[in-house]
A and B are shown apart, each in its own frame.
Chain A
Amino acid sequence: MRNKAAAFLSRPGVAPFLFLSPLIALIGCLILIPVTGAVVNSLFRDVTFLPQKFVFFGNYISLFSDSGFTRAAVFTLFFTIVSVFTEMGLGILLALLLNEKLPGRGFLRVAVLIPWAIPVAVSGRVWELIYNFNYGFANSFLLKTGLMNSPVNWLGTEAGAFLALVLADAWKTAPFVAIIVLAGLQTIPDELYEQASIDGAGIFQKFVYITLPVISPVIIVALLFRTIDALRVFDIIFVLTGGGPGGSTASLSMFAYERFLSGDFGGGSAVSVILFLMAMSLSLIYLKAAKLSEALK
């Protein structure tokens, strides 16, 4: 029996299939099928209070002529770029810090995870309190230390609200980047650094020639997933600015959410498809840059 099983398993294509089947089954049923449904749905006028009809690209056309949509798309892209850049930078710095043999390392590791661990609904409210015009921590700190003379309406301007969101988002997600990059840093043996020091390399050179090459694949993974998540940003904006002021911080996800809730499932699906295309384009760019297929061979 055992030999028969072994023989079956070593037939080409069987083992990979077995190993991958739970994955494919779960993702297939719970994500691929709904996604296909959503894509097909986007070609229909699917509004709960109207008769359904096939409109082909009708939903997409009305989206592109909707100034609210184009604004949300621009904001989302801009937010993604700035936010991801910030959190990657902060995350890598944090990872480098965590990689050092410092006293109190354990404490730092737990501290670093806390922002990621707090639910966004809560941390959003905390940031709301911090930015609050009258009672917020930010204003009272600035006023007490004399750095400013009058309270600042942080969320009152488009730029202010944007930066406030980026900060709140980067605060939460830098830990995510940090721990992914950290585990990658851990695979680099200390001897390599010691050897490089003996050879006369400075901090910067060690980073560029030893650290970077090893953690590049890990950085790409973090970059990829952070970008995808940033494109779909919703919770923090919902709680902190509600899309304001003046509609300037509405993201595509929020846009889709409003459509779905008001009964326009076709429109909401169309926005989701556009989000998908944006995410896919960015991913392909990253992957080309990383030359992933080379690594796999």
Chain B
Amino acid sequence: MREKQFKKAMLGAGYVSAVIFCLLPFVYMLYISFIDAASLFSKQEAAFTLKNYVNVIKGENLHFLTYLKNSVVIALISSLVTVIIAGLGAYAVTRMDFKWKTAVLLGVLGVSFFPQISIAGYIFKMLAALGLLNTYTGLIFPYTAWALPLSLWILAGYFLSVPPDLDKAAKVDGAGNFQIMAYVILPVALPGIVTAFLLSFIFMFNEFLFALMFTSDEAARTVPVAIALFTGLHGQVPWGDIMAAAALTTAPIAALAAVFQKRIISGLTQGAVK
């Protein structure tokens, strides 16, 4: 009994600390977005206002909503493509027999060690030659390539944890590779797949360097670049506007997370084992 009570107390304390830790800066950010930001640096009382949000959404030359749309579309497509390609690769690496397995995993890992800036110039030239600068595709390709190593490793890890007996059972029933993947592995490793998708999405949504260098206007520009466009000529930072923009940026991701958070947690499908 004592152990149970102790555990409950620990969990309660843990829950509260975790929420405070994770949300404190975020709440602060929301707070700033709803006040007149000049009062941050003066002794004035902070007044509630929606002006910042209006500035961001309606701001001419800001095209903020367009940037948001670009971000969401590009990140969605890239993450989907990433997860599909990584899934195929992870299946091959964990379920098939060939000599260069480890080489693939390590090679894919190895090339991801380089900082983005060092390859940006080359990718820029490639995209320019293909006429893909300032287009959705021009960002989708590099984003997918950049997110593949992590996704491959995550998915390989989860696929490994799916017991091979399931495979064998399916093979006995006459299933080919694709079917095993779709009907056996997928449902069981779903938490892993959703995790990989979510992490990729967030990475692409917040990616800055490539977005800045490969786009030149709202045709394909994304939100992180938009946020950098708020500052004035001498470093004037409209804190209220930026925080409002940030809040608007976090909204889709929070929504996505809210939708998927159950999926991250879903346990083993007991039925499959039986």
Contacts and interface: CB of A to CB of B under 8 A. Distances in A.
- A/B: CB atoms within 8 Å of each other: yes
Interface of A: 6, 9, 12-13, 15-16, 19-20, 22-24, 26-27, 29-35, 37-38, 90, 93-94, 97-98, 100, 102, 104-123, 125-127, 129-130, 134-135, 137, 171, 175-176, 179-180, 182-184, 186-187, 189, 202-203, 214, 217-218, 221, 224-225, 228, 231-232, 234-235, 252-253, 256-257, 260, 265, 268-269, 271-272, 275-276, 279-280, 283, 287, 292-293, 295-296
Contact of A35 (B11, B111, B150, B264): B111
B115 A122 contact: no
Contacts of B243: 122, 126
Contacts of B158: 183-184
A184 B161 contact: yes
Interface of B: 3, 7, 11, 14-15, 18-19, 21-23, 25-26, 28-29, 32, 40-41, 85-86, 88-89, 91-94, 96-98, 101-102, 104-106, 108-119, 121-123, 126, 141-142, 144-146, 148-150, 152-154, 157-158, 160-161, 176-177, 191-192, 194-195, 198-199, 202, 205-206, 208, 223-224, 227-228, 237, 239, 242-243, 245-246, 249-250, 253-254, 257-258, 261-262, 264-268
Give the 9 A-B residue pairs with the shortest CB-CB distance, closest first. Answer: A34-B122, A34-B119, A272-B118, A19-B92, A30-B145, A279-B113, A109-B261, A122-B246, A117-B253
Contact of B150 (A135, A202, A225, A276): A225
Which of B11, B115, B121, B191 has the largest number of chain A CB atoms within 10 A? Answer: B115
B117 A118 contact: no
B27 to A, nearest CB: 10
A12 to B, nearest CB: 7
Nearest to A187: B161
Contacts of A6: 176
